[in-house]
Structure 1
Amino acid sequence: MTLTLERRATTAHRNVGVFGRADFPAGSAHEQVTFFQDRATGLEAIVAIHDTTLGPALGGTRFYPYADEAAALKDVLRLSRGMTYKSAIAGVDLGGGKAVIIGDPATGKSEALLESYARFVQTLGGRYITAGDVGTNSDDLDIMGRATDYVVGRNTAAGGSGDSAPMTALGVFQGMKAAAQAKWGSPSLAGRSVGVEGTGKVGYQLIKLLLADGASVIATDVNSDALDRVARDFPEVTIAPSVIDRVLDVYAPCALGATLTGESVSVIAADVICGAANNQLADTAVERAIGDRGIVWVPDYVANGGGLIQVAGERLGTSAEEVRAQVEKIFATVVRILDVAQREGVLAGAAADVLAEARLAAAR
Structure 2
Amino acid sequence: MKKENVFEHMEEFEHEEVLFLSDKDTHLRAIIAIHDTTLGPALGGVRIWPYKDEKTVLLEALRLSRSMTYMGAISGADFGGAKAVLWGERQDKNEAYLRAFGRFIHGLGGRFIAYAGLGTDEFDMGQIARETEYVLVTRDENGKVLDSAKLAAYGLYWGMKACNNCLFGIDSLKNKVFAIQGVGEVGSQLVEYLIKEGAHLVITDINYDAIKKIQDNYPEVEAVKPREIYGIKCDFFSPCAISGVITEKTIEKLKCKIIAGSADCMLKDCSVELAEELHKRGILFAPDFAIGGGELVVAAVQSVAMSKSSMFESARRIYNIMGMIFELAKKEKTIPFKAAIKIANERIEKIAKIKRIQRH
- TM-score normalised by length of structure 1: 0.90
Give 1 or 2: higher helix fraction. 2
Whole-angstrom CA distance in 2 between matches of 1:273 and 1:186:
17
Task: For residue 343 of structure 1, give the secondary structure of its aligned residue in structure 2.
Answer: helix
CA RMSD of aligned residues (A): 2.2
Cα contact 1:56–1:128 (8 A) shared by 2 = yes
Is 1:228 the equivalent of 2:212?
yes
* Structure 2 counterpart of 1:68, from 24, 48, 53: 53
CA displacement, residues 270-311 of structure 1 (integer Å, 9 cap, x when unaligned): 111101101011122111110001111100000100123345
In the TM superposition, residue 326 of structure 1 has moved relative to its aligned partner by 2.1
In the TM superposition, residue 59 of structure 1 has moved relative to its aligned partner by 1.0
* Structure 1 counterpart of 2:189, from 198, 205, 208: 205
Is 1:52 the equivalent of 2:37?
yes
CA displacement, residues 136-191 of structure 1 (integer Å, 9 cap, x when unaligned): 111111111111110123788x9563321111111111111111111111111111
CA displacement, residues 1-21 of structure 1 (integer Å, 9 cap, x when unaligned): xxxxxxxxxxxx999633333
Is 1:181 the equivalent of 2:193?
no
CA displacement, residues 324-346 of structure 1 (integer Å, 9 cap, x when unaligned): 22210111111121122122111
In the TM superposition, residue 355 of structure 1 has moved relative to its aligned partner by 0.6
In the TM superposition, residue 90 of structure 1 has moved relative to its aligned partner by 0.4
Q: In the alignment, which residue of structure 2 is the partner of 1:91? A: 76
Q: In the alignment, which residue of structure 2 is the partner of 1:104? A: 89
Matches within 5 A, 1:247-266: 247-266=233-252
Task: For residue 70 of structure 1, give the secondary structure of its aligned residue in structure 2.
Answer: helix
* Structure 2 counterpart of 1:358, from 325, 346, 354: 346
Matches within 5 A, 1:317-336: 317-336=305-324
User: Structure 1's 187 and 155: CA in aligned 2 closer, same or farther, altered over 3 A?
Assistant: closer
User: Structure 1's 318 and 92: CA in aligned 2 closer, same or farther, altered over 3 A?
Assistant: farther
Whole-angstrom CA distance in 1 between matches of 2:107 and 2:236:
44
Cα contact 1:272–1:296 (8 A) shared by 2 = yes
* Structure 1 counterpart of 2:178, from 177, 183, 194: 194
In the TM superposition, residue 67 of structure 1 has moved relative to its aligned partner by 1.1
In the TM superposition, residue 318 of structure 1 has moved relative to its aligned partner by 3.9
- TM-score normalised by length of structure 2: 0.91
Q: In the alignment, which residue of structure 1 is the partner of 2:356? A: none
Whole-angstrom CA distance in 1 between matches of 2:3 and 2:21:
23
Q: Percent identity?
A: 35
Contiguous gaps of at least 5 residues in structure 1: 1-12
Q: In the alignment, which residue of structure 1 is the partner of 2:355? A: none
In the TM superposition, residue 321 of structure 1 has moved relative to its aligned partner by 3.3
Whole-angstrom CA distance in 1 between matches of 2:111 and 2:4:
25
Matches within 5 A, 1:111-260: 111-153=95-137, 161-241=145-225, 242-260=228-246
Task: For residue 150 of structure 1, give the secondary structure of its aligned residue in structure 2.
Answer: coil
- Partner amino acid for 2:209? D
Query: How many aligned residue pairs are there?
Result: 348
CA displacement, residues 203-233 of structure 1 (integer Å, 9 cap, x when unaligned): 0001111111111011011111111111111
Task: For residue 73 of structure 2, give the secondary structure of its aligned residue in structure 1.
Answer: helix
